[in-house]
Amino acid sequence: MKIPLLKNKREKFQDLNPKPLRKQILDNLFLFGLFNLLWFLFRTGKKPSRITYPCQQEALRNASIGLGSAIPIISFTAIFTTVKSWFSYSRFLVILVLTISTIGTASIAYTINSNTEVFLDINSINSELDGASDIFIVNGEDVAHINDLIDLMGTQNRSFYQTASVGINQGPDGLIAVDDVVLLKINCQWGKRGGTNTDMLKELIRAILLHPKGFIGEIVIADNGQGRGSMDWSEANSEDKNQSTQDVVDSFCSCSYVSTYLWDDIENIEVDEYSEGDMNDGYIVYDSLDPETNIYVSYPKFETDFGTKISFRDGIWNGTGYEDRLKVINLPVLKSHSGFGVTATTKHYMGVQSQGLTNGHDRIAAGGMGTLMVELGVPTLNIIDALWVNANPESSSSEGPGTSYTEATRVNALIAGTDPIALDYWSAKHILLQVSEMIGYTNTYSLNPDSTKSLGLTEAFGVWLNRTRDELLRASLNVTNDELKINVYANSLNFTAGPVKNNDLWIYLGSIGGSFLLIAATVPFGIKYYKKRKMK
């Protein structure tokens, strides 16, 4: 015969005072919300693209509505079925906590859902006109890499490597020679998705160092963030969000001759050229305004960590003269801009001039960035970073140039070429504008290169891009924004799944609807409480 075990005082108390149904439900509601959130994270994983599939879209709607309204609905029922007495402060506290948790859960879900990934179907187009500008685009997660871009350029006799002999991606007309000093002009003004992607940057540095004839030159990454730039952002644009530009450089051995230079440090120092005997780092400023755009041209001259003296305009100073070994690769991020609609190849040259000493920003609308390119030289190559873009237009509160992780859309594309106008026009029209519409925007005039509407902007993108084009044409440079004069060479993966549109709407509805239900649940108790107080 078994002897029953004696219960301690706590167990006896629990037997006499079982957990109220309300408390049990509320405990389960916490788990309910937690499991919903974990389910969403597990199903999405590290690939936001998974939410583009029909089953995921339906599940996301259910999860979004559930997160926003299931908790208050259940709590509403629980409160009404278990309340046996007058309203109390404890019940009010429960409702208040549920209200806050509803809004908080919706905010978390919005943060997770904002990293949308869209798929663009880009096809090659051959112009029938002579002298057409070339655009090269690699589109898709598996092909949006520097080596794939170099290979694509090579198929059209645009060799990346300059060599005496002809071979794969190399030849006498190649872009980068073995002893060149390659200046990678990035965007370091913004962290997160606003700056140049550091994964792409690392791939480009590696590709240069792997020159088929053995690279013996130097690579320097530079930019002027106009007083707010950094080469070491703690939150960067990369898969590993801690991987800054400086981290990328530090990952290569010193024998590779790779370094950074932050022009912010010298933006307020006016100097003369090396040829005039001034060896100090700083900015050269033209004495007079440009007659067409009224910009004061300015540009940096500086010494790298390895002792190389660089004049952005004149080249490499060897002590007695300048050597034509400086190659500039322009690496802008494709994104919207609150003042000028779109920032890409041409607008990116704001990071070459000194705003502290001159008036560059004020002359963008007049085509001033074109003047800088005319006077200082167009880049050897432009590579637009469209791995993540900010496609939120002026009508949104999330437009660029600053771009958080949740404000960006993943596109997985790199776009290259030597014509800055063709690149900006085509990328805005066929990437940024399309993505903006795919994620649910309809008022997208600020991203349209054909639009002259400047409402809410300093100047319409289409207007100032045309003025920049005209400035380059006056210098007899071959640029165009006529699509009939643009060749598009694409290595684009085809997708059948479309993008998610307006998923944030479901979250908003769930959150707002749930909050209204909670308020409705609170009102009866408030009335009872008021009557009780009045009776006393």
Q: Is the pLDDT of residue 53 over 60?
A: no
Assess if residue 374 is contained within a domain.
Answer: yes
- Mean pLDDT for the stretch of residues 35-45: 52
Same domain, 516 and 427: no
Question: Residue 174 has which token pair?
Answer: 């190649």
Q: Is the pLDDT of residue 5 over 90?
A: no
Which of the four pLDDT bands, split at 50, 70 and 90, describes residue 523? low
Which of 179-183, 184-188, 500-504 has the least mean pLDDT? 500-504
Assess if residue 322 is contained within a domain.
Answer: yes
Q: Where are the alpha helices (DSSP H) in 459-502?
A: 461-474
Nearest to 472 by CA among 345, 312, 336: 345
Same domain, 512 and 485: no
Question: Residue 298 has which token pair?
Answer: 């300015």
Same domain, 161 and 214: yes
Same domain, 351 and 413: yes
pLDDT of res. 212: 97
Strands 258-262 and 282-285: unpaired
Are residues 48 and 410 in contact, defined by beta-carbon separation less than 8 angstroms?
yes
- Mean pLDDT for the stretch of residues 396-410: 94
Assess if residue 128 is contained within a domain.
Answer: no
Q: Is the pLDDT of residue 54 over 80?
A: no
Question: Residue 359 has which token pair?
Answer: 């008036």
Assess if residue 216 is contained within a domain.
Answer: yes
pLDDT of res. 255: 85
pLDDT of res. 42: 53
d(CA 353, CA 361): 9
- Mean pLDDT for the stretch of residues 518-526: 59
Which of 106-115, 179-188, 322-331 has the least mean pLDDT? 106-115
d(CA 489, CA 417): 10
Task: Give the DSSP letter of residue 428.
Answer: I
Same domain, 193 and 312: yes
pLDDT digits (tens, 9 = 90+) for 304-323: 999 999 999 999 999 999 99
Which of the four pLDDT bands, split at 50, 70 and 90, describes residue 68? low
DSSP annotation string for 7-39: P-HHHHHHHHSPPPHHHHHHHHHHHHHHHHHHH
Assess if residue 8 is contained within a domain.
Answer: no
Q: Which residue has the higher pLDDT, 426 or 61?
A: 426
pLDDT of res. 98: 61
* Phi, psi torsion values for 270, nearest 5 degrees: -95, 130
Output the CA–CA distances (angstroms, integers) from residue 189 to 192, 194, 251, 355, 417, in the order listed. 10, 8, 22, 13, 23
DSSP annotation string for 167-191: BTTEETT-SB-TT-EEEEE---S--
What's the half-sphere exposure (Cβ side, CA atoms, 13 Å) at 504? 14
pLDDT of res. 29: 44
Task: Give the DSSP letter of residue 125.
Answer: B
Same domain, 206 and 324: yes
pLDDT of res. 446: 97
Helix (H) or strand (E) holding 316: strand 315-317
Assess if residue 124 is contained within a domain.
Answer: no
Nearest to 181 by CA among 326, 319, 304, 69: 326
Are residues 315 and 326 in contact, defined by beta-carbon separation less than 8 angstroms?
yes
Q: Where are the alpha helices (DSSP H) in 114-184?
A: 146-155
Same domain, 208 and 312: yes
Same domain, 159 and 252: yes
Same domain, 456 and 505: no
Question: Residue 245 has which token pair?
Answer: 């530009």
Task: Please provide the average confidence, as pLDDT, over all residues in the chain.
Answer: 84
Strand partners, 303: 309
- Mean pLDDT for the stretch of residues 71-81: 53
- Bond before 393 cis per omega within 30 degrees: no
Assess if residue 1 is contained within a domain.
Answer: no
pLDDT digits (tens, 9 = 90+) for 199-208: 999 999 999 9
Are residues 365 and 341 in contact, defined by beta-carbon separation less than 8 angstroms?
no
Q: Which residue has the tokens 């003296």?
A: 309
d(CA 425, CA 361): 20
Which of the four pLDDT bands, split at 50, 70 and 90, describes residue 158? very high
DSSP reduced 3-state for 363: helix
d(CA 141, CA 121): 13
Are residues 124 and 503 in contact, defined by beta-carbon separation less than 8 angstroms?
no
Same domain, 404 and 470: yes
Are residues 326 and 185 in contact, defined by beta-carbon separation less than 8 angstroms?
no
Amino acid at 382: N
Nearest to 187 by CA among 159, 154, 226: 226
Question: Residue 88 has which token pair?
Answer: 């109390």
Assess if residue 291 is contained within a domain.
Answer: yes
- Mean pLDDT for the stretch of residues 242-257: 94
pLDDT of res. 57: 44
Same domain, 269 and 364: yes
Same domain, 316 and 442: yes
**How many domains are there within the chain?**
2
Output the CA–CA distances (angstroms, integers) from residue 510 to 63, 98, 247, 261, in the order listed. 9, 14, 42, 48
Strands 341-343 and 258-262: unpaired
Which of 87-101, 160-174, 271-285 has the least mean pLDDT? 87-101
Task: Give the DSSP letter of residue 4.
Answer: P
CA angle 242, 248, 251 (to 5 degrees): 110
Domain span including residue 65? 19-116+501-535
